[in-house]
Structure 1
Amino acid sequence: MITSEAISTNDQREVKIVLLIAAFVILLATFFNQLPGGMIGALGAMVIVGFILNYLGDRTPIINQFFGGGAIVVIFGSSYLFHSGFLSGDIEKQITTFTKSGGFLSFYVASLVTGSILGMSTDTLKKAALKYIPVILGAVAISFLFAGIIGLFFGKNLFESLMLIALPIMGGGMGAGAVPLVEIMSGRTGMDAASLMSQMVPALAIGNAIAIVIAGLLNKVGQMKPSWTGNGELIRGEAEAIQDKSTSNDSLDVKKLGMGALIAISMFFLGTLLSTVISMHTYALMILSIALIKVSGLMPERLEKAAHAWYTFVVSNLTPALLVGIGVAYTDLNQIIDALSPMYFALVFATVLGAAIGAGIIGRVMGFYPIESAITGGLCMANMGGTGDVAVLAASKRMQLMPFAQISSRIGGAFMLILATFAIQLLA
């Protein structure tokens, strides 16, 4: 997607005309199911649908002020457009394939994680690494407390409230969370895997939606309470320091962007290779590798700037397109609506809200801005893994926090699996 920030004022009218013509042609081809196959068809539709929905969401009153604006409209709007049959046919399959097995999501996350970590100061990275784990623990503790209290109010026992709802929500998404949780629990509770999964999946979907909405609200809270937020910087005081060392005047050329893309892809490959010998998620290993390279000073500064430039390009141009992929491939509105009983919603909402409050409070104690720590340590624990991280950070307008979001989803998710093994002995 082309953003107005990336072009001069004199050229904006021309660009808008081009976008309108492109939108008309691509939407017409989509409606008549005549888009070409592969990446070109999927990405073309995703860019245009994402641009239109993002534009509308950012200009819709109330939604743009309190609920994340364009990000939330793109996710749920694209889910409705494609799943309702309004834009149907092969394009839905193409978008799903391109986002999942086609690697678009992995490409996006690798670009953000690599560029944002290498773009940090080394001191900031060291300070955050030592203090971040307690934030995750605070999120888990308060989320479980809130879920347990609400569950008892509705007559649920702790096993149903914590193990079937709170734990899956905080567990790192579907593949890295719910699936291994089902394997752990089905062998020790006497419940079959299908029954467990049918109870966990709606909790994940609703929890993800609530996390996105709360992220948008936290962005508004940050605007109302400026002392609570670093506007994308996690450690208190770092926002001013980074402004003083701004590198916004650095030239961005094609070679620099290409080098940044290659570095991001290489870091993803490194995480993939390490995952064959170390039993950890690729993203977690990638984060640890990049952080080690950063603090050791192995990467020349000009290459760090190239990776950060590529991160900026990807966030500015591909975020709405990816949110369309998340809406189509990962967001099932029917599943969310079917599970929306008052009791179920209250339990899920209490879990997500507790995660945000716990992370915000502990983050404040550890020297972080409470808004940023609530988003990364809380909401990014309570969403659906990598896709949820992108959606939450887009709704809160804090994409530069992706490394910490991924720590929550991957390392925090792994911690939840360990916790589940012990907790099941007490509650089952």
Structure 2
Amino acid sequence: MLSNVMSPQENEAGQNQRAINITLFCSALIILFASIENLLPSGLIGALGIMVVVGYILNVVGDKTPIINQFFGGGAIAVIFGSSYLFHSNWMPAETTQTITTFVKGGGFLSFFIASLVTGSVLGMDRDVLKKAALKYIPVILAGVACAFLFAGLVGAALGHGFFDSIMLLALPIMGGGMGAGAVPLVEIMSGRTGMDPEFLMSKMVPALAIGNAVSIVCAGLLDKVGKVFPSLTGNGQLIRGEKEEVKQEEEAAPMTIDMLGIGALIAITMFFIGTVLSSVIAMHSYALMILFVAFVKITGVMPRQLEQAAHAWYKFVVDNLTPALLVGIGVAYTDLNQIIDSLTLVYFLIVASTVLGAIVGTGILGRLMGFNPIEAAITAGLCMANMGGTGDVAVLAASKRMELMPFAQISSRIGGAFMLILATFIIQML
């Protein structure tokens, strides 16, 4: 009996928690009411408010729903596809949808999120781990591309779609780094050198990107489940085998204070600016240049450890608080369910799925041989090549619960995607 009596401290803590829950519930109701009645303010305050509320609700639903939470990534899947349905099927006013789209695309929220993740996760890594991974990672990406092309070509040939057409029209854009940095320049390259209609090429490639992105997100959730069943295949977020304890000790040394969060945010923004400035003189994507510069800073050790910890603390704050909101933005601004459904013929789906499967198999096998954990290698070097660039990276890593792998995901999307454009040019010139 005495053990069930709450102490004054426990009773006060319970009352405080109930007050917090009631306040959050009322805030959510107010924001949802304003959105449904088309009274939502424009700009950051309106977009971020509704994104946080919808993201939290759908994330809880996904994490509590059987099968989805066990095999399909849980909350991440529910947030992306649930928000896409809610905001594109007249459940929410069109003005709210436009506010979110503008904020995510034109407002730079995605860039801000990725800059925070890349900077903090790289600077929070063990220096020796980063050196070891960099030399072995690119060959693993190439193995994934080779297997993805082979699987897609063989399945396409068997189903009457053609070996070469399956690779060039479906597998190549899927592995090509997303829409802006992948499909769009790829269409320009192919139409300019082959005379094919750009609209025809785009009609083939865009649904492939969308379906490939969806399949990649689902596979990310499944790989997380596989890792729980077969622990020897995963490092639970660590790419290199045998490095978990060192990285964990370094991460735990970083306390999260208000001052550190502010400094960390400034460092992340500065690194993004540096990547943008460098891209004006170097013909590479600003994300790729940002990654290279942050990696250079980490490897050379020129930044004081306290500042590295500040960047890592900011990264953890952003991941813990803003990931569901960003996934809503991805669902609203970048995920067209109608386009996915309209293109979802059996042959089309099987070729796309075989491409993603090939990326997983190739990177998992060679990743193991190169000293990586197979699941982490398949997620970063495989699925983050097969998804839709930066937005897909966030969704895949969220579904697999491995956001700390963002630097390697961005290497796949940006540097790997640039390589695919070079490869496409070479193939077209040869054939």
TM-score interval for Structure 1 and Structure 2 normalised by the shorter chain: over 0.9
Partner of 1:410: 414
Taking the aligned partners of 2:371 and 2:353, their CA distance within structure 1 comes to: 27
Is 1:295 aligned with 2:299? Answer: yes
1:142-181 equivalence runs, <5 A: 142-181=147-186
Further displaced range: 352-361 or 321-330: 352-361
Partner of 1:328: 332
> What is the TM-score with the length of structure 2 in the denominator?
0.95
Match of 2:193 among 177, 188, 195: 188
Offset at residue 192 of structure 1 (A): 1.3
Offset at residue 246 of structure 1 (A): 4.8
Taking the aligned partners of 2:336 and 2:369, their CA distance within structure 1 comes to: 38
Partner of 2:95: 90
1:18-37 equivalence runs, <5 A: 18-37=23-42
Taking the aligned partners of 2:244 and 2:18, their CA distance within structure 1 comes to: 34
Offset at residue 158 of structure 1 (A): 2.5
- Per-residue displacement from partner, 1:133-168 (whole Å, max 9, x unpaired)? 011001100000100110111112233100000000
Taking the aligned partners of 1:114 and 1:172, their CA distance within structure 2 comes to: 20
The 3-state SS of whatever aligns with 2:252 is coil
- Per-residue displacement from partner, 1:176-228 (whole Å, max 9, x unpaired)? 00011011100122211111111100000000000000000000000111111
Larger Rg belongs to: 2
1:27-426 equivalence runs, <5 A: 27-243=32-248, 245-248=249-252, 250-426=254-430
CA gap 1:275/1:254 in 2 versus in 1, 3 angstroms = same
Offset at residue 23 of structure 1 (A): 1.1
Taking the aligned partners of 2:97 and 2:17, their CA distance within structure 1 comes to: 31
CA gap 1:301/1:146 in 2 versus in 1, 3 angstroms = same
The 3-state SS of whatever aligns with 1:251 is coil
Q: Is the 8 A contact 2:104 2:333 kept in 1?
A: yes
**Counterpart of 1:76 in structure 2: which amino acid?**
F
Q: Is the 8 A contact 2:364 2:378 kept in 1?
A: yes
The 3-state SS of whatever aligns with 1:231 is coil
Taking the aligned partners of 1:249 and 1:236, their CA distance within structure 2 comes to: 22
**Counterpart of 1:268 in structure 2: which amino acid?**
F
Taking the aligned partners of 2:251 and 2:288, their CA distance within structure 1 comes to: 28
The alignment yields a C-alpha RMSD, in angstroms, of 1.1
Q: Is the 8 A contact 2:115 2:269 kept in 1?
A: yes
- Per-residue displacement from partner, 1:303-333 (whole Å, max 9, x unpaired)? 0000000000000000000000000000000
The 3-state SS of whatever aligns with 2:423 is helix
Taking the aligned partners of 1:181 and 1:295, their CA distance within structure 2 comes to: 34
Question: Which blocks of at least 5 consecutive residues in structure 1 are unaligned?
Answer: 1-7
Aligned residues: 419
Q: Is the 8 A contact 2:140 2:363 kept in 1?
A: yes
The 3-state SS of whatever aligns with 2:20 is helix
The 3-state SS of whatever aligns with 1:303 is helix
The 3-state SS of whatever aligns with 1:47 is helix
Q: Is the 8 A contact 2:255 2:313 kept in 1?
A: no
**Counterpart of 2:68 in structure 1: which amino acid?**
I
**Counterpart of 2:239 in structure 1: which amino acid?**
L
Identity of aligned residues (%): 70
Q: Is the 8 A contact 2:124 2:251 kept in 1?
A: no
Q: Is the 8 A contact 2:319 2:403 kept in 1?
A: yes
Question: Which blocks of at least 5 consecutive residues in structure 2 are unaligned?
Answer: 1-12
- Per-residue displacement from partner, 1:325-350 (whole Å, max 9, x unpaired)? 00000000000000000000000000
CA gap 1:276/1:87 in 2 versus in 1, 3 angstroms = same
> What is the TM-score with the length of structure 1 in the denominator?
0.96
**Counterpart of 1:377 in structure 2: which amino acid?**
A
Partner of 2:8: none
Further displaced range: 187-196 or 230-239: 187-196
**Counterpart of 1:380 in structure 2: which amino acid?**
C
- Per-residue displacement from partner, 1:357-397 (whole Å, max 9, x unpaired)? 11111110100000000000000000000000000000000
Taking the aligned partners of 2:281 and 2:395, their CA distance within structure 1 comes to: 31
Offset at residue 9 of structure 1 (A): 7.3
Q: Is the 8 A contact 2:254 2:313 kept in 1?
A: no
**Counterpart of 1:186 in structure 2: which amino acid?**
S
Taking the aligned partners of 2:73 and 2:223, their CA distance within structure 1 comes to: 9
- Per-residue displacement from partner, 1:45-78 (whole Å, max 9, x unpaired)? 0000000000111111111111000000000000
Taking the aligned partners of 2:185 and 2:97, their CA distance within structure 1 comes to: 28
